Amino acid sequence: MTTSITSSTSTSSTSSLSSAISSSATLSQSDFLTLLTTQLKYQDPTKPVDNTQFVSEMAQFSQLSATNNINSTVSALSSSLQTSQALSSTSLVGQYVMAPSSSLTYTSGTPAVGAIDMTAAGTVNVAIKDSSGNTVASVPVTATSSGLTEFKWDGTDSSGQALASGTYTMSAMSGTTALSTYAAGQVVSVNPSTSSGSSTTLDVDGVGEVALAKISRIY
């Protein structure tokens, strides 16, 4: 009769503990130890835990402990790298970079600098449009190979007349394929990442906020 009561108590206690642990998001090292010791405490005296099973559970505990240590190390390393990246990025303030952009900012007397990500060697025309969507200029860009090819626009229209300072849109096609466009701008400020899932961004004059990883060139 005593054995029966002990077995029932064991099943009930272990079941309650398992349910409580299962309700949490993850099984911690403390949870694992609690579950293991509770299992030993309420085991059926007539059917003690098998040595092989016990060794297997201890091996699982060791693996859990090692995994937790690895996760902690990776988290610390990630945080350190983010801090290092943010600190090194501050040196970019005031420098010019090439960033993805569909707009090009022109200031009177200073040519606007952009780039096209060419898919192959050849020549394409960059269409420059005003705020009304009218094409005001066409800039030919010739590349000797695929990749980023820079160009300059002097701020004149198709007839050679000077246009007003401002922001214009640009686009380029290779056959029926739209090519990626870039614009050069000065880095105004740096926004460090605030969490493990975010990245450091730069505020680029004339372009806006751009992820550091998307910067193609630094001048």
pLDDT tens-digit readout, 112-168: 999 999 999 999 999 999 999 999 999 999 999 999 999 999 999 999 999 999 999
- The larger pLDDT score, comparing residue 114 to residue 42, is at 114
CA distances from 12 to 39, 68, 104, 206 (A): 11, 29, 71, 67
Q: Which residues contact 189 (CB under 8 A, 6 or more apart)?
A: 93, 202, 203
Pick the CATH number of 93-218 from 2.60.40.4070, 3.50.50.60, 2.60.40.420, 3.30.70.2860: 2.60.40.4070
The C-alpha angle with vertex 29 and arms to 25 and 34, in degrees rounded to 5, equals 95
Judged on CB neighbours under 10 Å (0-12, 13-18, 19+), 116 is buried
CA distances from 215 to 49, 98, 112, 208 (A): 60, 6, 18, 12
Nearest to 155 by CA among 184, 112, 125, 124: 112
Quick check: helix, strand or coil at residue 6?
Answer: helix
CA 212 to the chain's CA centroid: 10
Judged on CB neighbours under 10 Å (0-12, 13-18, 19+), 174 is middle
Q: Other C-beta atoms within 10 Å of 55: how many?
A: 10
Model confidence at 91, pLDDT cuts 50, 70, 90, reads confident
pLDDT for residue 207: 95
- Reading the block at residue 30, the tokens are 């403390």
Nearest to 3 by CA among 37, 38, 35, 43: 43
Q: Is the pTM of this model over 0.75?
A: no
The answer to whether 103 touches 184, Cβ cutoff 8 Å, is no
Q: Encode 23-42: b = buried (16+ Cβ within 10 Å), e = exposed.
A: eeeeeeeebbeebbebbeeb
Averaged pLDDT score across all residues of the chain: 79
User: What number is the average pLDDT over the span 92-105?
Assistant: 95
The answer to whether 99 touches 182, Cβ cutoff 8 Å, is yes
pLDDT for residue 189: 93
Nearest to 94 by CA among 184, 185, 183, 187: 187
| Sign of the four-CA dihedral 34, 36, 40, 44 | positive
